[in-house]
Amino acid sequence: METVASSPAPSTVEEVFRDYSGRHCGLVRALTAEVDDLYALCHPERENLCLYGHPDGSWEVNVPPEEVPPEMPEPTLGINFARNGPKRWDWLSRVAMHSDSWLLSVAFFFAARFSGAERKCLFNLINDLPTIFEAFCSHQLTKKNTRVDCGRKPKRSSKRLKTGQSTAFPPTVNIGCDEDANEISVTSCGSCGTKHFSNFWIQCDACERWFHGKCVKMTRAKAEKMKQYRCPSCSSK
């Protein structure tokens, strides 16, 4: 349960980002290194539970406080009730996405009195970190990469984003052996070096490396108007 009253609320961009980073760290750990503990704690027969990340980098599963209205935004309530419904990966991914939403709501709750420039600065700092969902997907890829040999080879995409083509993705691998298994990139971004989930990738026509669109400041709309794409490194040669 959140104990905000025990310490002053963050009041500057640096303090809010430090608070966000601590909570982010705790939630990432809950959904990666300590995910089995999280899964066990969220038993459907328990009360309405929330997943909390704390500023000190710890995490906890607990019932929400009884204050109405609460002192600050609360995480999604009752995450444990859906645990046994969807597949484990689907449930965890939804928890990760709800955690991202909660983190942002807490940060901008503290930033409500900030100026526009301060809020923009805070958002840019936050945006430089991977989301909880991205960290979760990356961890699942590392953990389950060996499951490619379940009789399924990594899928290769021959697509490159060209004029009129609205989707392009690097090679992916299924995490799980079911027909509808989820897929994660097995290719690292040529700019940031991570395999984090992104709904838009672009491949350089010169070096054939794949990049997250946001890492090379490229949008889907801009890419669709280009006949060829060269990454920043190839463009400078």
Contacts (Cβ under 8 Å, ≥6 apart) of 109 = 72, 73
Here the tokens at position 51 are 């997943």
Which whole-number Å values give the CA distances from 135 to 29, 30, 91, 162, in the listed order?
A: 9, 11, 15, 29
Local confidence pLDDT in tens for the 237 residues of the chain? 444 445 788 999 999 999 999 999 999 999 999 999 999 999 999 999 999 999 999 999 999 888 767 788 999 999 999 898 878 989 999 999 999 999 999 999 999 999 999 999 999 999 988 899 988 988 877 665 434 444 443 443 434 443 333 345 555 544 444 444 444 455 678 887 776 666 788 889 888 888 888 889 888 888 888 889 999 888 887
**What is the structure's pLDDT at 170?**
59
**What is the structure's pLDDT at 167?**
42
- State the Cα–Cα distance between residues 190 and 81, nearest whole angstrom: 40
pTM of the model: 0.62
Nearest Cα to Cα of residue 190 among 126, 145, 153, 234: 234
Query: Element (H or E) spanning 96, and its range?
Result: helix 88-110
**What is the structure's pLDDT at 233?**
87
